[in-house]
Structure 1
Amino acid sequence: MAEAPHQQTTAPRHWEADVLLRDGRTAHLRPIRPEDAQLLIEFYARVSDESKYFRFFSPMPTLSDRDVVRFTQVDHVDRVAMIVELGGQMIAVGRYDVVKPGEAEVAFLVEDRHQGRGIAQLLLEHLAQAGRERGIERFMAEVLPDNQKMIHTFRDAGYHVASGYEDGVMVLEFPIDPTDTSVGVMVSREHRAESASIERFFHPRSIAVVGASRRQDTIGQALVRNLVTGNYTGRVHAVNPTSDAVSGLPAYKTVNDIPDEVDVAIVAVPADAVQDVVLDCAAKGVHGLVVISSGFAETGEEGRQRQRRLVGLARSYGLRLIGPNCLGVINTDKDTSLNASLSPLMPPAGRAGFFCQSGALGSAILEKVNNRGLGLSTFVSAGNRADVSGNDLLQYWEEDDSTEVVMMYLESIGNPRKFSRVARRVSLRKPIVAVRSGRTTQGVPMGHAVRKIAAPQQAVDAMFAQAGVIQVDNLDEMFDVAQLLAHQPLPRGRRVAVVGNSDALGLLASDAAAAVGLVVNKSVALGADATADHFEDALDAAIDDPDVDAVVAVYIPPLNVSGEDVANVLAAVGEQSDKPLVSSFLGAEGVPELLRVPDVAGQVAGRGSVPSYPAVEAAVRALARVVGYAVWLRTPDGATLDATDLDSVGAKRIVLDALRDNPDGVDLDADQVRELLAAYGIETWAEQRVDTLKEAQKVGRELGWDVVLKATAGHLRERPDLAHVWRNIDSAAEMKDAWESLNQLITSTDSAGWVVQKNAPPGVPVAISSMEDPLFGPVVSFGIAGPLTELLADRSYRIPPIGEHDAAAMVREIKSSPMLFGYRGSEVVDVAEVERLVLRVAQLQHDLPQITSLDLPLVLAGGDRASVLRASVRVDPVSQSRTDWFARRLPSQAGDTSPG
């Protein structure tokens, strides 16, 4: 008789996820359900006897009815089980069972033919994340010594594993709180898997064009033609159920009919037929799909549903998908020479990788690249970006030897937190130049169903800067910056020399440099009749000058002079210089042929080629962007917060206790706020609420006078035209005067929120705040307190965790920062203490995602201290915005919550 099922609870929705395996293919991970009984039986029948023995320590060829019930019916609290599905079959199962409060036993079973694909590690990550949410602190596992694969799974996860032997069985125990090592292991595995999933798109050995057509002026015909005329080195297969041949190629009725292996399918069929193509490709074992077809999320709600089904189907069979509604992919590597796109223009080989989303814009971008002589390594137009996103491309480009510069045109950011994490790592190796449309409106194209970012746009800009991304305003400026990065060395600093044969343009260059923070240390006016020799001598002198970090060359030729001699000089100097050289040469845009250096790799322009700009202002602006990136590269993060004096366990207890009594969230009371902040070394000044004059006088006496009376209601303290504070009260009579005077000035006295507080030393009022953004995760901000600076949006932002350098930069980059450094003879404040508070607020927000807002709206920064006079904290149930911090997952289907 079957065992009675435990009381069922519903598993949280975010426990279900699409995941990427080690080989770059997808699978679906979810909590087990009672109706999975048949899936479990079929799965167990495919598992080898050895794997069964390793799991149960005894021969167990089949599962009894009782076993099936026990394994499939869990309570999702003390007994949690998750399965991995692929193609409608269960290929792995993992579970934990609580053995005592805070500790659970964990075990896995992976189908033999899927072992070695990183599935057990993924299950461990997701079970640990679920365990943390359920209050589990430790996992333990019993493993046979011969089961080396499972032993390595636990040890390689990055946790601190302790082991011992009991009755011939190895017992492994480890705390599941994330460590720097375990997070690093997860990030490394994520990088390898996502890079592998993209690599096959760029280097396919064979391609099937589904929807290939014999008719001219059709998408299917254009795709075949572009592949063939682009000299693709692999095999092209045409798929058309009604034709025997297309463009001289034999046509097959389905992908599965193709006798050879197929790596990538390019899909150009009506939207309602795409799902059938997915099933056909899955049966063939295709790695990925590039869906050119439109008719999906860009068309409205019906299209969004169709797109959601498409992504879910593709991932359930292990396929990655670019698109739909995209232009395609290009790889200019001569060993591949892939133009799997609708663009008839194959760009020249170059050092830059390009990611964009709009298909229509992609065609214009390719034309601009060609006209500028920039050259690309690879190009992707992701269309509606339902699956493959910019984050995936960054993972690939990080180690792609052909790509030295990354360009991204972002119409939306589905997962800015992950973008920030990945981009920061990539930026340390290769510069990223990005244009972000909709910066002001947060508008996104129809096909991009993403949630709005709650944090202000300054926070998004700060995230880009913090990650080292060179954010520019438009496509022209993107190419201006990229051509400099692709061909010239990075500058060592901000000092510039201007060399030219036009006094007027030299002056414009100097003015432009000053406007963007560059320092012109040398300006050489050669005169209109300057020869090539004059230019060579001046350029050599400027480059040899130790006080010069970069050179701007301006050449406007006299009448009837080609300037070829000067061009030869610029190219020769640019090739040999270890300092960047930019030019305004003949008003040309891009990298003119005269200024190109031959490249042994066959690229359109080699290292040392000199970029030219039609206006000197554009040249200087591009140089300034590159200087900013070079400075970012050389600026260390600084030490992170010393955690030795932080009581993170105590802080977590305060938050969890508050949520236990208020499961829907609550504003912490004054005592809870004071205790929580004290756990992170933030001392707050006590204030006592009073409702009558007598209460105010009593509190004043208890505090020993020298107190203030103030109204704390937001509608009063945020208005400069209303007095709401009376300071330096030393007696009952003075309190009476203060009470009566303020009550005459304030009409809504009943809702004023009167408090009495000790008088703090004078100082500059600053405000430090943090929040949990639904997409960003934690965000911290700093600014001078008060409505005027709020109106001017004069605040700085960072994404925790942050280091000492970030905190110092936050304090200094606001426009009103001179108030902290002795403005008009005032006292210089204790800036180090202000930075310490910023660091601690950021760390507290980073450590506790339950804190949805933390506000220190009034901190008086004086010469030797910073007094926190007011504080408030809001806590809510744990945010789902961080579910991918410690457990890998692909963006949710069709990008409707947090696409990557």
Structure 2
Amino acid sequence: MSTEEDVIGEPGPSGEISVAAPYPVEWEADVVLRDGTTAHVRPIRPEDRDALQRFHRGQSERSTYLRFFVAMEQLSARDLTRFTVLDHRDRVALVGVTSTPDGDDEIIGVARFDRIGPGEAEVAFNVSDSYQGRGVGSVLLEHVAAAAREVGIQRFTAEVLPQNGKMIAVFREAGYDMSQHVDDGIVTVSMHLDPTDRSRQVMADREHRAEARSMHGLFSPRSVVLVASVRGTADAHEARLAVRALAGGLEVTGGAQLQVVGLTAVAVRDALDTHGTLDTFDRYDTLDEVPGPIDLAVVTVRAQDSVTAVRELARLGVRGVVVLGSGYAETGDEGLALQRELVRTAHAAGMRIVGPGSYGLFAARSDGSFNASLADRRPLGGVVGLFCQSAPIAVTILATVRRRGLGLSSFLSAGNRADVSGNDLMQFWHDDDATSVVGLYLESIGNPRKFSRIARRLGQVKPVIVVTAGRSGHIVPPGHAVRTTRAPRRTLEEVFRQSGVIHAENTHQMIDIIQLLAHQPLPSGRRVGIVASSAPLAAIVAEAAGAAGMVVTGAAGIVAEDAADEEIVRTVDDVYADGACDVVVAVHVPVLGDHDERFSRAVATAAARTSRPTVVSILGLHGFVPELSTVAPDGAVVNVPAYSTAEDAVLALGAVVMYAAWRSRDHGRGLVYPDVDVAGARALVEKHGDGEVETDVARDLLRCYGIETWPSVPVADADAAVAAANELGWPVVLKSTAESLRHRADLGGVRLDLADEKELRTAFDQMRLSLAEHLPAALRTSATPLEVQRMAPAGVACVVRSTEDVLYGPVVSFGLSGDAVDLLGDVSYGVPPLTTTDVAQMVRSVRAAPRLFGYKGLPAADAAAIEDLIGRVSQMADDLPELRSLELYPVVVAEHGGAVLSARLTLGAANRKDGLRRTLPD
């Protein structure tokens, strides 16, 4: 309970107060609540006085007593000023708001803190009675804790009445380190705000449940309204999409009622004549006439009318809006502003937006199918969940799926992806029993860090196959409001690798892989057996399998065109013998005549009997065909996928083999360093601001993360060099500090292992003269910049870097120093947070890695030491979004331990997309 009594300013005639402190707009965010609805979180403002009073009066007597410890029918003018006029540093308050039917903000919860000492603040919460149990308190705690950390608060305390069990549970279940004690009938709760593994997991779990619930509502509505116009009868532009949606078979789950607004009876009748699956519908001229409640709205109105439509839909309790039309961000700045206003309006009213520019969505579920798409023909029901962005790509993907006979559990086209994204769909599919394989076509990734977290979690239970518009993820199509990345083009590949995502080259290959995963078990290994209609075909398959990372076992089974039935079965069964292989590739291309059904039948029967993952390439067969479908001994139907070419089949199989290996391996544990001083690091960051920091500051900041840098001393003459060596300890290194010569022993920029004063003086004089010709004219002076450092034990020189990217956040890299990094780009990347396995993979994935592990008989370097260093840099970069860049170069890794010989560190304003709070796209 807050005890702050200071008042900043006095209300004017209107009751509003101007505040000198800048409004922290970066604390604003849209969120998804536990029931799948949305709300807006923002700092409280002086103009919220009336809304706060309404919120207070709407609370029950019990809720008011639990918050203030006394009965208060209304807040006094002094209280309203104290609660709404804040400095956003020592006194902070966030409110959760939704919009009223009139468009005004309605406060549904308040979280505030008042600084009571260095690094400590008293916190208090109050959640609307009508919203309790919907996760408002936990969301507000996450957001107010993030704000507190930004202003230097490390600990919250709160005084709570013992009977306020809900609020005590919010604190306890947040996952922070917490303690509590009872004194004089009051429970005092104290919690550290440093994130813990448990607090991160709690946030991820809550985010997952809320977003999955939100998507479940989109795919299983019991009532749908099609809005073609907000002005009465739709014009030609508005009616075109609406009629297409009807003609395509707009369908409500369980055959419930459909409401149509703005279309004439003739237009509706003509649409139903084209596709007569709709038995019941009600037609209205305006939204005002439609009775509620309505779960989902399909909107085809003109872009300039969409915000009005969403405001009117709020009255009906709509949970989701599918915007099929165009005219938004893809048209330029005005369209982008309109798109953002549309999303803000929807979120404030508790709705999710699919689109704009969406092709729609549909689902085939056990409780009835649902369709709100423009597709005139839908694929069969199945186990595959598909997500794509643009409508044209949706058309081609759905046509491919239908042609191959692949079944879908659900499909969604996000269009401009202004709100609902692939991340939301992955959250939903994780728990969806109807979906066992996930495919995504991504034209852009708005939040790669969140994508990585969700995909890694989903990939451990269901395969995720992704196609991107360009392999690097640097393409940003019109209409996609995405930050522009400067990260290396390989960064996205590393995100996918860490997450277990299968990255397909194109939509054709994505469907190739999906059709294998949808109907075949995961491989138990990478040994491949081959059965073919000729030896040359078998050789081609063997070569392709080796290139895809598989191992060919034994001789291929060759089935001649004129082979007898018994010989075909025997040859196929030999390939499928127990222990002979883990997967099978079957290829049959007859020289004369059509494909041999005996071959198809023998392969399908053996695959079903042994549960051995199998792919085939048989002339004339593609996708799922009756010739390759049979019944397993347990009664299950087994479908063996057919591919146009043997190479396609092998590429798909190789991708699945790699995924199965990733899924079965140990993914390591989260990196935890008990000696890390996050609070000390944050204090240094706040004190030293922007730009490259001085050496001493960099050393102190790195020391907060357990990283010790070896000291070096700049020297202007030989006497100073000798004095420095005596101070640091012999032997020493003499090196240039000039940027062009740092670490360049080949240019004479480094002299190693100088054991005494004579050697050092000689080296100093020689370097000062010889380096002058390599330096720019401005540096060609008698005082050539040199420095002295103690000689590190012999080892392998490495470089560890971290860069804060506006899209990816922190990107950590590792390589062996020298030309391998500078010229050949032999660098591995990781996007924090990393696991122990991720770090070990980074060290071992560079091509020069053998030098660390006893190359040509040399002693093996201490791999654990460099892994520990990379892990600490990863943690530091993850904790400090202000860390714009960090370079540790060189890091000499010896047989035992490692030495960080130089560090360069630059700070800047935090601008990270994904932080420690749940938010929707901004």
Check whether TM > 0.5: yes
Aligned to 2:88: 76
Aligned to 1:426: 458
Amino acid at match of 1:39: A
Using the alignment, how far apart are the partners of 1:317 and 1:68 within structure 2?
Answer: 26
> 3-state SS of the aligned residue for 2:576?
helix
Contact 2:426 2:458 in 1 (8 A): yes
1:176-220 deviation per Cα after TM superposition (whole angstroms, max 9, x unaligned)? 222222222221111111011111111111211111879899211
Aligned to 1:494: 526
1:766-819 deviation per Cα after TM superposition (whole angstroms, max 9, x unaligned)? 111122222323221111212453332211111223233222211221122233
Aligned to 1:224: 246
Amino acid at match of 2:98: L
Aligned to 2:46: 34
Using the alignment, how far apart are the partners of 1:499 and 1:572 within structure 2?
Answer: 14
Aligned to 2:697: 672
Aligned to 1:361: 393
The number of aligned residues is 880
Higher alpha-carbon deviation: 862-871 or 478-487: 862-871
Contact 1:214 1:246 in 2 (8 A): no
Query: Which among 843, 849, 852 is matched to residue 817 of structure 1?
Result: 849
1:187/1:207 Cα in 2 relative to 1: closer, same or farther (>3 Å)? same
Aligned to 1:740: 769
Contact 2:222 2:254 in 1 (8 A): no
Matched, 1:163 2:180: yes
| Shift of residue 356, structure 1, vs aligned partner | 0.5
Higher alpha-carbon deviation: 107-116 or 827-836: 827-836
Aligned to 1:101: 118
CA RMSD, Structure 1 to Structure 2 (Å): 2.7
Aligned to 2:750: 725
Query: Which among 324, 331, 335 is matched to residue 299 of structure 1?
Result: 331
1:714/1:98 Cα in 2 relative to 1: closer, same or farther (>3 Å)? same
| Shift of residue 558, structure 1, vs aligned partner | 5.1
Contact 2:221 2:252 in 1 (8 A): no
Query: Which among 56, 59, 78 is matched to residue 47 of structure 1?
Result: 59
> 3-state SS of the aligned residue for 1:304?
helix
Using the alignment, how far apart are the partners of 2:261 and 2:405 within structure 1?
Answer: 36
Aligned to 1:896: none
TM-score normalized by structure 2?
0.90
Query: Which among 499, 505, 520 is matched to residue 467 of structure 1?
Result: 499
Query: Which among 586, 591, 612 is matched to residue 619 of structure 2?
Result: 586
| Shift of residue 38, structure 1, vs aligned partner | 1.3
Aligned to 2:382: 350
Using the alignment, how far apart are the partners of 1:809 and 1:146 within structure 2?
Answer: 51
Matched, 1:803 2:835: yes
1:161/1:245 Cα in 2 relative to 1: closer, same or farther (>3 Å)? same
Identity score, percent: 42
1:602-623 deviation per Cα after TM superposition (whole angstroms, max 9, x unaligned)? xxx9763111111111111111
Alignment of 1:198-209 (within 5 A): 198-209=215-226
1:736/1:115 Cα in 2 relative to 1: closer, same or farther (>3 Å)? same
Amino acid at match of 1:468: G
Contact 2:90 2:115 in 1 (8 A): yes
Using the alignment, how far apart are the partners of 2:195 and 2:851 within structure 1?
Answer: 41
Matched, 1:111 2:142: no
Aligned to 2:732: 707
Contact 1:256 1:284 in 2 (8 A): no
| Shift of residue 306, structure 1, vs aligned partner | 1.0
Using the alignment, how far apart are the partners of 2:484 and 2:251 within structure 1?
Answer: 43
Contact 2:803 2:811 in 1 (8 A): yes
Amino acid at match of 1:671: D
Matched, 1:881 2:908: no
Higher RCO (Cα < 8 Å, 6 or more apart)? 1
1:505/1:219 Cα in 2 relative to 1: closer, same or farther (>3 Å)? same
Matched, 1:5 2:11: no
Contact 2:615 2:642 in 1 (8 A): yes
Alignment of 1:142-541 (within 5 A): 142-211=159-228, 218-228=240-250, 233-240=255-262, 246-247=268-269, 249-259=281-291, 261-333=293-365, 335-440=367-472, 442-522=474-554, 523-541=556-574
Aligned to 2:277: none
1:704-743 deviation per Cα after TM superposition (whole angstroms, max 9, x unaligned)? 5543322233323487974422334341234323332333
Amino acid at match of 2:119: G
Contact 1:98 1:104 in 2 (8 A): yes
Aligned to 1:634: 664
Aligned to 1:571: 604
1:672/1:628 Cα in 2 relative to 1: closer, same or farther (>3 Å)? same
Using the alignment, how far apart are the partners of 2:776 and 2:123 within structure 1?
Answer: 64
Amino acid at match of 2:243: Q
Contact 2:326 2:357 in 1 (8 A): yes
Contact 2:444 2:473 in 1 (8 A): no
TM-score normalized by structure 1?
0.92
> 3-state SS of the aligned residue for 1:398?
helix
- Name segments (4+ residues, structure 1) moved above 6 Å: 212-217, 229-232, 718-721
Matched, 1:548 2:570: no
1:310-366 deviation per Cα after TM superposition (whole angstroms, max 9, x unaligned)? 111111111110000110001122533222111101111111111110101101110
| Shift of residue 702, structure 1, vs aligned partner | 4.8
> 3-state SS of the aligned residue for 1:714?
coil
Contact 2:736 2:742 in 1 (8 A): yes
| Shift of residue 115, structure 1, vs aligned partner | 1.8
Contact 1:658 1:668 in 2 (8 A): no
Using the alignment, how far apart are the partners of 1:506 and 1:469 within structure 2?
Answer: 30
Aligned to 1:897: none
Contact 1:244 1:251 in 2 (8 A): no
Contact 2:258 2:282 in 1 (8 A): no
Aligned to 2:15: none
1:99/1:727 Cα in 2 relative to 1: closer, same or farther (>3 Å)? closer
| Shift of residue 369, structure 1, vs aligned partner | 0.3
1:116-137 deviation per Cα after TM superposition (whole angstroms, max 9, x unaligned)? 2111111111111111122222
Contact 1:532 1:569 in 2 (8 A): no
Aligned to 1:895: none
Amino acid at match of 1:685: W
Alignment of 1:624-663 (within 5 A): 624-641=654-671, 643-644=673-674, 646-649=675-678, 652-654=679-681, 656-657=683-684, 659-660=686-687, 662-663=688-689
Using the alignment, how far apart are the partners of 1:162 and 1:728 within structure 2?
Answer: 54
Higher alpha-carbon deviation: 546-555 or 503-512: 546-555
Amino acid at match of 2:710: W
Using the alignment, how far apart are the partners of 1:734 and 1:250 within structure 2?
Answer: 93
> 3-state SS of the aligned residue for 1:173?
strand
Amino acid at match of 1:529: D
> 3-state SS of the aligned residue for 1:466?
helix
1:437-457 deviation per Cα after TM superposition (whole angstroms, max 9, x unaligned)? 133471211100111223212
| Shift of residue 104, structure 1, vs aligned partner | 2.1
| Shift of residue 824, structure 1, vs aligned partner | 4.5
1:30/1:734 Cα in 2 relative to 1: closer, same or farther (>3 Å)? closer
1:567-626 deviation per Cα after TM superposition (whole angstroms, max 9, x unaligned)? 2222222223332111112253322232134799xxxx9763111111111111111111
| Shift of residue 461, structure 1, vs aligned partner | 0.9
> 3-state SS of the aligned residue for 2:291?
coil
Higher alpha-carbon deviation: 412-421 or 714-723: 714-723
Contact 2:735 2:743 in 1 (8 A): no
Higher alpha-carbon deviation: 256-265 or 823-832: 823-832
| Shift of residue 244, structure 1, vs aligned partner | 8.2
